[in-house]
Chain A
């Protein structure tokens, strides 16, 4: 498989802030590669470097074998970039924006229409509307269409699903899955941990450092303890009670249950005795498979 992006030892500082600290990764052709991490982790800075819009202080990065620092003119023809903030012309119509981006890259909408038809067909009925007057979901589809109109080989999407509701997020990931058929490699960032499972490979990123890089399932497998879910109607009381239990290592709220690890990696009757003594008699305990977020929490605690 061909290597699309290869980076080694990328660092970038803004004043005294280390935005990126020794970032190395490689992305293969037709892969969906996700950078998962909170705001301020360095995702946007990294994406600006990948898309040749910013230079790293240290390290080297190559895209399609070309150097991001010196070969940027050629590289930009091959990269489609959708920034986190909506950056199209608000006072141009949907159609005008799309034509504009096609023209800038020396192509036409007709030539590459097939690539965007799936996405663009949703907003085509409103092609005479100013881009600034579209809903969030429609803006997102237009921005994606504009990023794709020159048929790039690499698509870089900075937090395309942030602030988007669960249904639209799921639909967006379905669209990305379809783009894979056109041999487009996708680098995408998200703060939503659950979206990691939609990627072929993910890098967990926090404070400018990569905590882990692997296939999402392998990252889950990397969880080092036995994980249990504990459920009770009194969620907050349960959590505080579990934390006082001497054998508890970690206890975090996760949806309708608490995710708990124990020093001896097992559950016995003394836990139930303890919970009943503390007034929680309805606790249900089950062994569970760790998710991406469990692993992220574990890695965060290790680095702190």
Chain B
């Protein structure tokens, strides 16, 4: 029996009259690389925010790392890692300072942080950068470091939101090899990307359109099912963007707090 780390049943999320997530059902397993695809505005960010304990579902059942997305959001946050393209590390802190900061936030003991810093820098062949500030690092190195920091506390799941945007082709591949390595250690990788060739690296992918999951399977099976040579072709066939509709309110700004 496969080990489920994410279970989503009949998930609905509304913002006013707008349905951002319309009855989603899926499971993600331990050590799986799960690609979460969809056109801009399809509702991916809303789902990721719910799965990472930042937003509550309107209805439905959501469990992440064994915790309930309504009542146990703090436990969820302790058991996940998150990295996105835009922000992940403090630019005016050094490499080492960033690692210590994040280690501290996740409650890792000082001696363990020390040990992990050494290991992390060695893995990335990063020792020479230890005392450099992030702003001085090339983008590719930053992204690799950001990923390492996102899994510093050995979370059950790591969410990667377009982690490879804009990086050069060699770094992009090295990044994916880090993802493979992480997944092989049993950490589930939940990733969004606009690079359709990257979707092919995933064990399974889902494609969202207008708040619904319209496809979910292995890349191989989806290509067979839609009689397509690549995932890009599958995507173009089924993920029609809503170009003639005004955009729904952004999920970040609309939710009432408290």
- Which A residues contact B (CB, under 8 angstroms)? 37-41, 122, 125-126, 129, 133-138, 162-171, 191-194, 206, 235-236, 239, 252-256, 293, 296-297, 300-301
Q: Which residues on A sit within 8 Å (CB–CB) of B38?
A: 165
Since A122-B244, A165-B241, A191-B165 are in contact, a sample of 18 more A-B pairs with Cβ atoms closer than 8 Å, ordered by chain A residue number, is A38-B166, A38-B167, A40-B139, A125-B244, A134-B247, A136-B41, A137-B243, A165-B239, A166-B239, A167-B39, A167-B236, A192-B195, A193-B169, A194-B232, A236-B181, A236-B184, A252-B173, A255-B197
18 A-B pairs (CB sep. < 8 Å): A37-B168, A38-B139, A38-B140, A38-B166, A38-B169, A39-B139, A122-B243, A129-B246, A136-B41, A163-B165, A165-B241, A166-B194, A167-B235, A167-B236, A167-B241, A191-B165, A252-B173, A256-B219
Shortest CB-to-CB span from B39 to chain A, Å, is: 4
Q: Does B255 contact A (CB under 8 A)?
A: no
Please report the C-alpha to C-alpha distance between residue A163 and residue B84 in the assembled complex, in whole angstroms.
Answer: 12
Q: Which residues on B sit within 8 Å (CB–CB) of A137?
A: 40-41, 241, 243
| Neighbour of B247 across the interface among A138, A164, A167, A171, CB < 8 A | A138
Would you call B239 and A167 a contact (CB within 8 A)? yes
Please report the C-alpha to C-alpha distance between residue A167 and residue B242 in the assembled complex, in whole angstroms.
Answer: 11
Please report the C-alpha to C-alpha distance between residue A296 and residue B169 in the assembled complex, in whole angstroms.
Answer: 8
In this complex, the interface size class of chain B, counting residues with CB under 8 Å from chain A, is 35 or more
Q: Which 5 residue pairs across A and B have the least CB separation, nearest first?
A: A135-B247, A39-B166, A38-B168, A255-B200, A236-B180
Q: Which residues on A sit within 8 Å (CB–CB) of B40?
A: 135-137, 163-165, 168
B164-192 CB mask vs A (1 if < 8 Å, else 0) is 01111111010011001100100000000
Please report the C-alpha to C-alpha distance between residue A206 and residue B184 in the assembled complex, in whole angstroms.
Answer: 32
Please report the C-alpha to C-alpha distance between residue A279 and residue B243 in the assembled complex, in whole angstroms.
Answer: 48
Shortest CB-to-CB span from A243 to chain B, Å, is: 10
Would you call A256 and B220 a contact (CB within 8 A)? yes
Would you call B176 and A297 a contact (CB within 8 A)? no
Would you call B246 and A191 a contact (CB within 8 A)? no
Would you call A300 and B243 a contact (CB within 8 A)? no
Given A167-B39, A170-B236: A297 and B177 interface contact (C-beta under 8 Å)? no
| Neighbour of A168 across the interface among B168, B195, B241, CB < 8 A | B241
Q: Does B138 contact A (CB under 8 A)?
A: yes
Q: Does B110 contact A (CB under 8 A)?
A: no
Q: Which residues on B sit within 8 Å (CB–CB) of A38?
A: 139-140, 166-169, 171
Q: Does B75 contact A (CB under 8 A)?
A: no
Given A163-B165, A165-B38: A239 and B177 interface contact (C-beta under 8 Å)? yes
Would you call B232 and A166 a contact (CB within 8 A)? yes
Shortest CB-to-CB span from B239 to chain A, Å, is: 6
Q: Which residues on A sit within 8 Å (CB–CB) of B173?
A: 252-253
B36-60 CB mask vs A (1 if < 8 Å, else 0) is 0011110000000000000000000
Given A40-B138, A293-B169, A297-B170: A163 and B243 interface contact (C-beta under 8 Å)? no
